[in-house]
Chains A and B, each alone.
Chain A
Amino acid sequence: MQIYLPIAEVSVNAFLLLGLGGMVGILSGMFGVGGGFLMTPLLFFIGIPPAVAVATEANQIVASSFSGVLAHLRRKTVDLKMGVVLLIGGLIGAALGVLIFNYLKSLGQVDLLVRLCYVVFLGVIGGLMFIESLNAIRKTAKGTAIPKRKKHGLIHKLPFKMRFRVSGLYISVIPPLLVGLVVGILAAIMGVGGGFIMVPAMIYLLGMPTKVVVGTSLFQIIFVTAFTTMLHATTNYTVDVVLAVLLLVGGVIGAQIGTRIGVRMKAEQLRILLAIMVLAVCGKLAFDLLVMPSELFSIGAVEGH
């Protein structure tokens, strides 16, 4: 069934969009990532103009994250206090990110920089997670206990300490604020929720338990992507609500299924799957940059239009 999208001004198959939304929704629920890093390139691929894809994806992430976070709230796996701290950093970061994005746009080459950002961040994070979770799985298989993560480092010497009861942490608010800030900047530049960066940062930098990480990151993502949606809707007029509805109907159902799958899986398995997926997307993007494209030319709107 073909459907004409009013803002994107293209006609696409409605079932294809529902399917894509569902698939990405499952991943979103399982790993606590918004799924934007997968969905945005997929939307480019089916012919949605990039500006519309990025803006609409932000709106869709709000829906699937909301669905996911409710499931986590019921299970009490959301650290609201930590979420709020991350959110404050995130909103400041998103505003900064939009400024940086517009600056890069004026220089041209924003496309390339976004792609390079993806390759670098996905590569580093995916690689680290993969190695770490592989080691963890090996150790559990051998029957030896997983060594406790280092509890004493620079992070614990910082001032403004706060107790995060749900996460079982007593740390300074500066690291979570910074994590939120960096994620906010990247989210605005890369047009994603930023969960794939935040989840590992929360596990490895802040030392939060994996079970709490997913719900908390979804909580932060809702607000940051809602903010981004409003920015896009009021400045670029690129949020396509028909496209968003189709994606989110699939997405919210997928997110519910994903959350239930996630609960049944071991934390290490969850992490290694996410690592593999992140690395696969990274590999594909790197491949596209390195291999000569079949069409060297591309058509775009004139700058300033």
Chain B
Amino acid sequence: MDTITKNQLSAMLLITDAFTLFCFRGHICLITATGFLCGTVLQFIMALPLVKLCRNGGSVEKCGKIVQSIYLLYLLLWGGMLFSMLWNASDVIYIPYENSNGIWGKLLIAGLIAIVCLYSSSTGIKAVSRSSVIAAAVGTICLLIVTISAIFSSEWENILRTENSDGFFNEISRGFVLSGGLGSFAVLISFTKGDALKNTIYYFSGKIILTAIVTFSSILVAGGIMKITEFPVVTAAQLSQPFPVQRIDSLFLIIFSVFAVFSIAVQSLSAAGLLMRIFPKFKHFRTTSVLVLMIGSAFLFSGENNYNILYAITVAFILLVIPSAVLLKRSIKK
């Protein structure tokens, strides 16, 4: 069986998380950032039944077809959400063809990413996990440059601006939803070598650091214009320029493109794996079908604000309810 390491698992999931943060719409303030971090902690706590299930030798792959179908549906919807995020965020990121050709340009860009995702997913979990580590390393370097640049453009009084907050609990809910990639986490954790709990702690620690860096640097740089900013992280990156006569916006474009490819590839890879389990006779065009369904489901989210309580309940259902139910069923059987 193909197995991955905790570094590879974390790289794949953190890329998805970073991409979700880049595409985050709405305002970010100190309460939001704190809410995001609390949301992540909440996710970790909710992931514990799943971790216990893995430690007892269980996994999503070993559950019945109904459970697998629920996870598949979730992965397809989240993949669609990622395409939708890409669609919306590409408006504010300068992608040459997209910006000059309207809807067709957007379709072309989405199509290109889908083709690369299709190829990536078809190579299997090992190839994607190995390349995710390298992509994450390159992304970290680029992100560090952007973050260091952000320090020079920071306005520390922005931290105290809280007038945009929807309240702490709403922010926790928004932060909680930020990790739709947890569907992949549920599928991939059983493929990971080593102790499931340690791997989970490792991933969530990375996620907390990433969320803290991205959200706080966004507040510091773009806090003053947060009211008129649709994509605060993108705006913060655009405002963070280390040199007076040169701009490094394109550096962010590189991270954005690479992370878009890998985050969608991870979802399609996980979904294709589940599809194979549910329909073993469906051998060809699994990944293609998954990507087509994801693009189709992207239209469901088009233009929507994706961070509401409904999505939070869905994430909780995937992360907490199903693994707990499986664990309960197992203990009753015993």
**Genuine A/B complex:** no
Binding site for B on A (CB under 8 A): none
